[in-house]
Amino acid sequence: MMAGYFRNEKFMDTIELYHRMRSLGLKTDSFTCTLALKACSSLSDVESGKIIMRNAMENGLASDRFLGSSMIKFLVKFGDIDEARSIFDELPCKDVVCWNSIIGGYVQNGNFHMALNLFWKMLGVGIIPTQVSIASLTQACGGIGNLELGKCVHGFLNSLGMGFDILVLTSLVDMYCKIGDVESARRVFDRMPTRNLVSWNAMISGYVQNGFVFVGFELFRRLVLSGCEFDSVTIVSLLQGSAQLSSLDNGKVLHGFVLRRGLQSNFIVSTAIVDLYAKCGDLKLASSVFTRMKERNVISWTAMLMGLAQNGHAEEAMRLFGQMQEEGVVANVVTLVSLIHACAHVGSLKKGRSVHGYLIRYNISFDEVTRTALIDMYAKCGKLDSAKRVFDDRLKSNDVVLWNSMINGYGIHGHGDKAIDVFNQMKMEGIQPNETTFISLFSACSHSGLVEEGMSLLLVMNEDYKIRPSEKHFACMVDSLSRAGRLEEAEALINQMPFAPGNAVLEALLSGCRTHKKIEMGIRTADRLLTLDSMNPGIYVILSNIYALGGRWNEVDYVRGLMRKRGLRKTPGYSLLEVNNLVHTFFAGDNSHPYWEEIHQMLEDLRIQMETLGYYPDTSCVLRDVDEEKKVKLLWGHSERLAMAFALLCTPAGSLIRITKNLRVCSDCHTVTKYISKIARREIIVRDANRFHHFDNGKCSCGDYW
């Protein structure tokens, strides 16, 4: 009766009949327990399954190899590999099915070395492997990425006479692809006497995973022309490939296939489409597919959230996260790391803290990726003390990325000395720095005026760690010299580079020329830059500013006209401010804010108070050919001033003000913010495109060096 229920997939009835037998005092044997346990596995009823196993062991039935194998499979399926191994070791007689169950269990748990060790032990006791054994063996080889071992296994299975078995050959294709040897995978694929859809999918996904997306598409074309059907696995692989290439056109073609074949109801396919459109920057299409999905899991939500966050829509990402919570979907680490990065982008400390709290509440693992994201977020939100606490709470970690994030955090706040201290701590703990470590260090030295220290670290990098300086390293050193006004030395360093300078190096020099009013050198540098990148609007803007500094207004008009002719636009300046859990955006000269009149009046009151304290506007910051009165008016329309005035109107007296600006703070705004911090008795933190400025009682942490 139980067997009949089980064969007809009446799993609940199978389990109920087992319990009824027990309640009537009827004897159950290993076959009875095996059927009941398999029914529990099909229903994912872990508790009932454990009761059945406990009863079987109490009655001495667990030594039966058939029941033992079922118990091992059940425990493996629900993640208890240690208990499964314990049962396996106690079995007095183990057949190949028992061995396959435990070996496959270790493969599923990612313990590939243990799976391989058990396979060799199985051979040692004279058990002849089956196709299932070989499939697990090839998965283990692919998991550890050992090509030599994989080729030995290939030869071994041929000696067993399995060289024509479709399951074994498909597993070989998958193994070679995972190891990265797609040529060997293709040779196996082409020599297969017969192929099923699993074989085609293994080869297509192998090409995509190894970056040969177009070859994968060509193989898909062959599959379609051969008259074979494809499934959701095929489409998902190709969608992932299109996302890798940010190929919106390919994605739309695949979306058409999905609609024609009626695969859109498959939530895995729909999630892949959302991910593709998001990575291609078409958030409208991504949102359209996402909202139409009847079934959504955490991966679907994460794909949409990541798309919003990575495309600069941090606020929308946070709103979607709120909706996700309302629908009872528990976020995973990937979701939360994406949100942390979004909070860092807009400087939203409150939301960043709430995500950190979510991690703690749901006991989500604080791995190195999560900690790195939190350190970066707190640093970019101006809370270095919180970043340092997260860094100090780490377990002993060899992850250089984690250390780099702390060095970079100190750097953007102008604490070059502390960044160097972290580097020295790295050396003491035996952590090997990488290229990024030194880029962060050089940048930290640059923002702190530690020119000589940066030059010394350049020698350490080259001589002690044998890391050859890249363009990014040279760009940091040129930036450091340029900020310090040592422009001739910076130009000499560029001429001594072992390769031709690229954009990053020349842009660093050009920025220094603008700051220190080196007109001729700036023009010369801009000309070199434009030969490399004639469509970069930033170069034209700086060149225009340099001409304006020299009062050469005809040239200014010519450069701006050239920009218009080439369809280039200057990046508009804006500032972000979080008030009452909402992020407000202010653009330079914008009067569209609902509180515009109050903001304007607040700025006027501040200006009068500042002038009584000795403030005089620095109109050299306004690089426009207009009269002084107009220049002053333009200065008072700068976005960070609008944000500060709004903060003073809408936040409690004495509370901290945090502002994020997308461009470099001009010298007059820097002076004004120092005055406002003194008049309003507020600490003001401004994060601009280069670094952080902490204003308090009329002084700035940068020491007027930025």
Residue 392: C-alpha distances to residues 141, 425, 440 (Å): 38, 12, 19
- In terms of Cβ atoms closer than 10 Å to its own Cβ (0-12, 13-18, 19+), residue 454 is buried
Instruction: Give the range among 78-92, 106-120, 268-282 with minimum mean pLDDT.
Output: 78-92
Euclidean distance between CA atoms 253 and 28, whole angstroms: 57
Handedness of CA 422, 425, 431, 434 (dihedral sign): positive
pLDDT in the model for residue 395: 64
- Asked whether the predicted pLDDT for residue 407 surpasses 90, the reply is yes
Instruction: Give the range among 234-243, 420-429, 561-570 with minimum mean pLDDT.
Output: 561-570
Q: What percent of the chain has pLDDT over 70?
A: 100
More confident residue, 345 or 432: 432
- Asked whether the predicted pLDDT for residue 171 surpasses 90, the reply is yes
- Name the band, by pLDDT with cuts 50, 70 and 90, for residue 348: confident
pLDDT in the model for residue 318: 84
Cβ neighbours, 10 Å, residue 433: 22
Residue 398 DSSP SS3? coil
Over residues 451-500, the pLDDT tens digits come to: 999 999 999 999 999 999 999 999 999 999 999 999 999 999 999 999 99
- Name the band, by pLDDT with cuts 50, 70 and 90, for residue 601: very high
Euclidean distance between CA atoms 118 and 106, whole angstroms: 9
- Name the band, by pLDDT with cuts 50, 70 and 90, for residue 30: confident
Over residues 541-598, the pLDDT tens digits come to: 999 989 988 889 999 999 999 999 999 888 888 999 989 878 899 999 888 889 999 9
One-character DSSP codes across 383-397: -HHHHHHHHHTS-S-
Over residues 110-164, the pLDDT tens digits come to: 899 999 999 999 999 999 999 999 999 999 999 999 899 999 989 988 888 888 8
Closest C-alpha among 410, 412, 679, 413 to residue 423: 410
Mean pLDDT, the chain, whole residue set: 91
Structure tokens at 506: 């020349």
Beta strands in 229-292 (DSSP E): none
- Asked whether the predicted pLDDT for residue 678 surpasses 90, the reply is yes
pLDDT in the model for residue 80: 86
Euclidean distance between CA atoms 211 and 209, whole angstroms: 6
Over residues 288-316, the pLDDT tens digits come to: 999 999 889 999 999 999 999 888 787 78
- Asked whether the predicted pLDDT for residue 88 surpasses 80, the reply is yes
